Amino acid sequence: MSPTASLPNTSRTILETARHLLYNQALVYFQGKPIGTLAAIPQKVRHYSNGKVTVSIPGEDLNYTEVFIRDNVPSMLYFLVDDRPEIVRNFLDICLSLQSQQPQTAGIFPTSFHVSPTKLTADYGQRAIGRVVSVDATLWWLILAQVYCEWTQDWEWAGQERVQQGLKQFLRLILHPGFREAPTLHVPDGAFMIDRPLDVWGAPLEIQVLLYGALLSTTHLILQGRGPDIQADEQQQVAQSLDLAIRLRRYLLKHYWLNSRIVQILRRRPTDLYGDQIVNEYNIRTETIPHWLQTWLGDQGGYLIGNVRTGRLDFRFFTLGNCLAAIFDLLPRPQQKALFHLIARNREELFAEMPLRICHPPLDDEDWRNKTGFDPKNKVWCYHNAGHWPCLFWFLVIAILRQESPTDELAADSYAYHRLLKDGYETLLARLPEQQWAEYFDGPTGVWIGQEARAYQTWTITSLLLSEHLLIRQPTDKHIMNLPSLGSLIRQQRQL
């Protein structure tokens, strides 16, 4: 029976179209093997002028026909649940072969790579618009490797020397001395999915959460891959990474977690304190705490703020970093509950006509001018600046579904959350095929196709497929992104 056979006719046709696009148009081959998906499926556009017809491919000059590591996360998860693990293994192997060996960047993975019949050309940022570097691609590779091994139980793959060397190189990159004591990873502007200036430099949430996930993944891959043959230097790296993961989690919960009670404490703190035992470490002044938080948080909502920097907290809500913090259990259960409560409470903002908004609120006027450098793509309510991205929806689906169990305290709310997710899914189903699987949507409700959005964007297509798979077809696969817990890793390490 085809995987879509039991569905009503229209949804079946849409899902079959989506699968067709993914397998027959987005998937690319290198030396005869399927190895990953293009960011967007190129579309020919005909132009008529003075009786002549010319054909062009919008965006051909950009990099949408490359294989991006971050865009491949949903593709790879879908291949796993669709019983095509060999594609994921090929993808991991290809990316590993592109891990930088240059002294300046040793250990990093490329943002994307171009595939020609004979050659792979990686982009580490040296060709990117604005020369932005992406840090998330490297962190994602580690997480995907762990998810692949856990799903397939192919620990032999993890045990290979070249994989272990890749893990070691990554840890060398992370576990080096620096000038700061804080456990967060400092990055330049635009170092993740938001890859243009949007005042997300320093310690943006998404990077910190991915780092946490990557540290858990890497230590597990070393412990499982090496087994009893683990070397002393590897044991030391494992111990150091676990220590970093513990400190990072503690730090994020202390400095990034926000709810109404915490806002009230922050608003009454003294400033300009010096010394070890002070209550306002980052010297935040009350005037920087925005009033929109009052209705946004309500009395039960909570979330991790976007960034912590001296004198300035970034109170913007970033959807992906928050969903991942739930998925990786960086947030304890009660905080996850408060997060889902906040998302449901602000549904009009975050879902609106196209789930989900990438961040909230947008940078306005002067902030837009100064902080994005007048970026026309990132105008208010557009693109990364509070635009709506359907590719984010399945992350929320996993974050909520993986929590549900009859004994869980979330169970009481689970009907309402399920409704929320189903409604979101119905929106994707109704709008995406009609709007050519657009990359993103603009405006405060996300009703307009993004001004510069690509059509047939692969992670838009896979978001629909994954959401359907998890909500309808095979809800038991909701644990696919579960990472080994910090506690279990510490126990495993102590037994060495």
**Residues binding ligand GLC (CB under 6 A):** 39, 68, 70-71, 193, 195
Tokens, residue 331: 């947030």
In the complex, the smallest distance separating the C-beta of residue 477 from ligand GLC, rounded to whole angstroms, is: 24
Nearer Cβ to ligand GLC (323/338): 323
Q: Of 230, 394, 257, 229, whose CA–CA distance to 323 is shortest? A: 394
d(CA 53, CA 251): 60
Q: Which helix (H) or strand (E) holds 258?
A: strand 257-259
Nearer Cβ to ligand GLC (64/296): 64
In the complex, the smallest distance separating the C-beta of residue 450 from ligand GLC, rounded to whole angstroms, is: 11
Strand partners, 68: 112
Nearer Cβ to ligand GLC (351/389): 389
In the complex, the smallest distance separating the C-beta of residue 439 from ligand GLC, rounded to whole angstroms, is: 7
Q: What are phi and psi of 281, to 5 degrees?
A: -55, -40
Nearer Cβ to ligand GLC (157/389): 389
In the complex, the smallest distance separating the C-beta of residue 68 from ligand GLC, rounded to whole angstroms, is: 5
Query: 289-299 burial by CB neighbour count: b if 16+ within 10 A, else e?
Result: eeeebeebbbe
Nearer Cβ to ligand GLC (157/440): 440
> What is the tally of helices (H) and strands (E) in the chain?
18, 13
In the complex, the smallest distance separating the C-beta of residue 116 from ligand GLC, rounded to whole angstroms, is: 19
- Cβ neighbors of 474 (< 8 A, separation 6 or more) are 81
In the complex, the smallest distance separating the C-beta of residue 72 from ligand GLC, rounded to whole angstroms, is: 10
d(CA 102, CA 489): 31
Single-letter residue type at 334 = P
Number of residues assigned to the chain: 496
Q: What are phi and psi of 307, to 5 degrees?
A: -170, 150
* Displacement of CA 190 from its chain's centroid (Å): 14
Nearer Cβ to ligand GLC (70/469): 70
Contact indicator for 58, 439 with CB cutoff of 8 Å: no
In the complex, the smallest distance separating the C-beta of residue 115 from ligand GLC, rounded to whole angstroms, is: 15
What does the DSSP 8-state code read for residue 477?
A: G
In the complex, the smallest distance separating the C-beta of residue 153 from ligand GLC, rounded to whole angstroms, is: 30
d(CA 216, CA 276): 30
In the complex, the smallest distance separating the C-beta of residue 193 from ligand GLC, rounded to whole angstroms, is: 4
Q: Which helix (H) or strand (E) holds 456?
A: none
Inter-axis angle of helices 333-345 and 393-401, nearest 10:
130
d(CA 493, CA 495): 5
Nearer Cβ to ligand GLC (128/173): 128
Q: Which residue is nearest to ligand GLC (CB)?
A: 39
In the complex, the smallest distance separating the C-beta of residue 70 from ligand GLC, rounded to whole angstroms, is: 5
Tokens, residue 447: 């009703």
DSSP 44-58: -EEEEETTEEEEE-T
Nearer Cβ to ligand GLC (39/214): 39
Nearer Cβ to ligand GLC (39/483): 39
In the complex, the smallest distance separating the C-beta of residue 132 from ligand GLC, rounded to whole angstroms, is: 9
Nearer Cβ to ligand GLC (68/256): 68
Nearer Cβ to ligand GLC (68/317): 68
In the complex, the smallest distance separating the C-beta of residue 376 from ligand GLC, rounded to whole angstroms, is: 14
CB atoms within 10 A of CB 308: 23
Describe the chain by its helix, strand, coil percentages, rounded to 5: 50, 10, 40
Please give the radius of gyration of the chain, using alpha carbons only, rounded to the nearest integer: 22
Tokens, residue 337: 């509950």
Nearer Cβ to ligand GLC (39/342): 39
In the complex, the smallest distance separating the C-beta of residue 92 from ligand GLC, rounded to whole angstroms, is: 18
Nearer Cβ to ligand GLC (256/389): 389
- Cβ neighbors of 282 (< 8 A, separation 6 or more) are 255, 308, 309, 310, 311, 313
Tokens, residue 168: 């070691």
